A and B are shown apart, each in its own frame.
Chain A
Amino acid sequence: MNEMQFLTWVRGPGLDIAIGIFLLGVLWRLIEIYTLGRKQDVAPGRQRDGASGLHTVFRRSVPPPGMVRKSPVTYIGGYVFHIGLAIIVFLFAPHIALIRDLTGLSWPGLPSQFVDLVTVVTMAAMVVVLFDRINKPAKRYLSTFQDWFTWTLTFLPVLTGWMAVQHLLLPYTTMLALHILSVELLLIFLPFTKLFHTFTVFGSRWYLGKINGHRGVPV
C-alpha cells in the first residue's frame, strides 16, 4: 500500500467504519444512560429544587473560590486545552469543510496561522496536565489505564495534524493519513471511555444540581 492508497483508505472505508462505530456507540450509551432512571424518592424534598439543575450546568464551569490558587494546573491547563481543542476542531477551515460535507452545516473559519498557534498552546497545556498527573501522588494514585489511554487518544490527532501542517518527520501525505487515522481511533473509543463526557457533561451536571436542590442544597 503506497501513501496515497493509505490516505484514500483512511478517507474512505476507514472513516466509514469509525463513524459507524461512533454513531452506534453514542446512540446506544445515550439511550441507555438517559433511560436508566432512578429509584423513586419517597421522602419529600426539603424544598423545591427550582433551577438548581440549570444553574449547576453553568456554575461548574467556574472554579469554586480559592480553587484556582490551590490547583492552578488543573484549572488553567484544563481550560486552555478544552477551549483550544474546540477552536482547532470547529474553527479550522478544512475541518469545517468536513462538517459541512457530513451535516450540511457550516460557518466561517479562522486563519490557519492562528489555529496553528492555538494548537501549540493546546499541546503544551496537555503535556503540562499530563506531567501534573504523574507528579502529584494523589492524582497518580487515582489514575487508571483509561486516563493515560484517553489522554493519548486526544493528544495524537492534535500532534499529527500539527506535524502534517508543519511538514515534520514524514511526508505530508503520510502524516495527513496518520492524522485522519488517529481521529478515527478517537471516534471509535470516544463512546466507550470517559471521553463520552463530551456528550454527558451538561446532562450529568443538571442531574446532580437537581438532586442537590431536592435535598436542600439549592444553587
Chain B
Amino acid sequence: MSDKNSGLIASLAHQGISRRTFMKYCATLASMMALPPSAGRAMAEAMAAARRPSVIWLPFQECTGCTESITRSHSPSLEGLIFDAISLDYQETLMAAAGHQAEEALEKAIEENKGKFVLIIDGSVATGLDGAYSCIAGRTNLELLKRVAPHAGAIVAMGSCAAFGGIPKANPNPTAAVAVTDIIKDKPVVNIPGCPPIPVVMTGVLAHYLTFGSLPELDKLGRPKAFYGETIHDRCYRRPFYDQGKFAKTFDDEGARKGWCLFELGCKGPVTYNACATVKWNGGTSWPVESGHGCLGCSEPDFWDGGGFYRALSMPADPLKMAATAAVVGTAAGVAATFANRAKKGAAKSAHETVTLADLEK
C-alpha cells in the first residue's frame, strides 16, 4: 500500500487517471446522488485533497461476495482505484498480515484514527450462544463490534447481511443472526443493502463523507436516499410492457425473447428499492432484469423469506393449506343447516292445526 499521506488525486494520477477523468467521475457521482452541480466540483476538490481515510473492514457472518463485488467486478474502474486508494487498515480478505499481526493492525488503526476512521461491516452478527457461532482471533463478532464501533467516525453496514441480517437471518435463523443496527443503537449507521451491493453506492457514500464530513441523507431503513429512493420497477426499461399488459409467462417463451415484463415470473422489482435499473452492474454492462431474470429483491429486508423467487407478487406466498378443509367444513355446515331447517319445517307442519269457523267465532 502506498504512502498514507499522499492525496487521493496523487494516487489516481500514479495509476494513470487524469484530473479531467476524475472531475467527470465526481460530477457523475454528484448527479447520481442528486446533489447540485456545484457539489461535483466540491467533491473533486475535497477528495483530491483528502488524506486517504483509514478504513477498518470487519467481516462477520458473510460469504465475501460484498468484497468480491467491490474489489473485482468493477476493476479496473475508478471505483476500484478509489477503493485501492483508501487506507484499508484492516480487511482480512485483502490484507497481507495474518494472526497476531493482523489483530495488532486493528488495534493500531483504532488508536491512531479514533473518532475518524470509517468502519465497514459486512455480514450479520451472530448472537446465539453468546455469539460463539462466528469468531475472529478468539473474539466473537459481537465483542469485536462493541469494541470497534464506539470509536468509529462513520459506520457502514455493507450488504444485506450487515444491513438487515440477510441469509444468515433467514428462517429458522439457527445462529440468531441480527443486523448491525440491532446492536449499534447510539450511532448512525449507513445501510448499503444488496446481495451484493452496487460498488458505486459504496464510493458515493465515501465521497460524500470525505467532501461534506457527514453521511448522505438516509431513508427510514438507513439507506442513502439517492440510490434507494425509487423502486426497480419504476425505473425498469421493461416497465412499458408491464403497463401494456405484456408479460413473459416462462423463461423461454415468445414474451421472454421479446423482452417483455418479468412480473409473472416472480420479479420483485415493484417492492425493491435499489439503483440497479439505472446504475447497472459490471461497469454499466447489464443487470439481472436485462439478462432475462426477474429481480430477487436482494436489497430488501428478509428477501430470503419473501415467499419464493418465482412467484409473482400478486400470487400467494405459500400454498393454501386451509382451503380443502374449509370447503369440507363449509359443506358440512351447509348440510347440517339444511337438516336443521327441514326438521323445523317438519315440526311446524305437524304442529299445524286446521282453523275452523267455530274457532274464529270464539
B331-362 vs A: 1/0 string, CB under 8 Å?
10111011001100100000000000000000
Establish whether residues B323 and A15, one from each chain, have CB atoms under 8 Å apart when the complex forms: no
Establish whether residues A2 and B302, one from each chain, have CB atoms under 8 Å apart when the complex forms: yes
* B1 proximal to A (CB < 8 A): no
* A169 proximal to B (CB < 8 A): no
Given contacts A4-B303, A31-B331, A110-B245, are A23 and B323 in contact (CB under 8 A)? yes
* B122 proximal to A (CB < 8 A): no
Residues of B within 8 A of A189 (CB): none
Q: Report the stretch among B57-65, B210-218, B286-294, B308-316 that lies at the interface.
A: B308-316
Residues of B within 8 A of A22 (CB): 326
Contact of A16 among B243, B270, B320, B335 (CB under 8 A): B320
Establish whether residues A8 and B330, one from each chain, have CB atoms under 8 Å apart when the complex forms: no
A1-32 vs B: 1/0 string, CB under 8 Å?
01111011001110111011111111111111
Given contacts A20-B322, A101-B315, A111-B245, are A31 and B271 in contact (CB under 8 A)? no
How many CB-defined contacts (below 8 Å) exist between A and B?
Answer: 141
* A75 proximal to B (CB < 8 A): no
* B25 proximal to A (CB < 8 A): no
Residues of B within 8 A of A202 (CB): none
Establish whether residues A19 and B320, one from each chain, have CB atoms under 8 Å apart when the complex forms: yes
A58 to nearest B CB, angstroms? 28
* A146 proximal to B (CB < 8 A): no
Tell me the complex Cα distance, A19–B306, Å: 20
Residues of B within 8 A of A64 (CB): none
Establish whether residues B334 and A32, one from each chain, have CB atoms under 8 Å apart when the complex forms: yes
Establish whether residues A176 and B270, one from each chain, have CB atoms under 8 Å apart when the complex forms: yes
Ranked 3 nearest A-B pairs via Cβ: A31-B334, A27-B330, A20-B322
Please report A residues at the B interface, Cβ cutoff 8 Å: 2-5, 7-8, 11-13, 15-17, 19-32, 35-37, 39, 93-95, 97-98, 101-102, 108-113, 167, 172-173, 176
